[in-house]
Amino acid sequence: SGQFLVTEKSGDLRLINADGSVSRPLSGLPDVAAQGQGGLLDVAVSPRFAQDRTIFWTYAKSVRGGLVTAAARGTLNTDGSLTDVTDIFVQSDPARNGRHFGSRIFPMADGTVWITTGDRGAGDSGDLVQDIDSTHGKVIRVNADGSVPAGNPFVGREGDDQIWSVGHRNMQGAAIGPNGDLWTIEHGPRGGDELNRPAAGLNYGWPVVGY
């Protein structure tokens, strides 16, 4: 208690104490691709952290073909190490540029996890934002173990089962509202940032509609 987990874009995760003292980088994180806007992104603790010591984070990951946004979970031990580290989401369709990774992550009390992804730069992946088989520019909803919740809108239909909503540009802001709804903020291309409350299966327009 009285500590904060803070990510550094370069790939380090640290604990900051209430007195302002900063820990050494925590050990056990996967390799982070700190390229362009990519790096170690968001971090959040489990709603049951006192019992399960689980934390979640998002990061830019190098895969065959380029870079993707990924989300992982692990156990934070009292010695500052992370163990049982595993990816729970890895974005499809890698891009070679270092732009627009998103990304926020919210583990929820019902065992689901919200993840926001960016469009990876509309220049080379804009069409993928409107593609329901691609995870570019989407709100993603998975279970804490990476499996797909039965209530996701594309389960049993055409499209990627992990997807909750479509047509987002670069969601780097998000929050859970008082009634438990997810709210997101995405950057517009030249101003025109959007505040959305993403609903299941809906399309929020990018890159067909923007500004």
Task: Specify the DSSP class assigned to residue 120.
Answer: S
Per the CB < 8 A criterion, the answer to whether 132 and 146 are in contact is no
> In Å, how far from its chain's centre is CA 163?
12
Between CA 163 and CA 116 the distance in angstroms is 10
Catalytic residue among 100, 136, 168, 187: 100
| 203 burial type by CB count under 10 A (0-12 exposed, 13-18 middle, 19+ buried) | middle
Q: Is-catalytic flag, 187?
A: no
Q: Where are the beta strands (DSSP E) in 132-202?
A: 139-143, 163-165, 171-176, 182-186, 194-196
By annotation, the residues acting in catalysis are 100
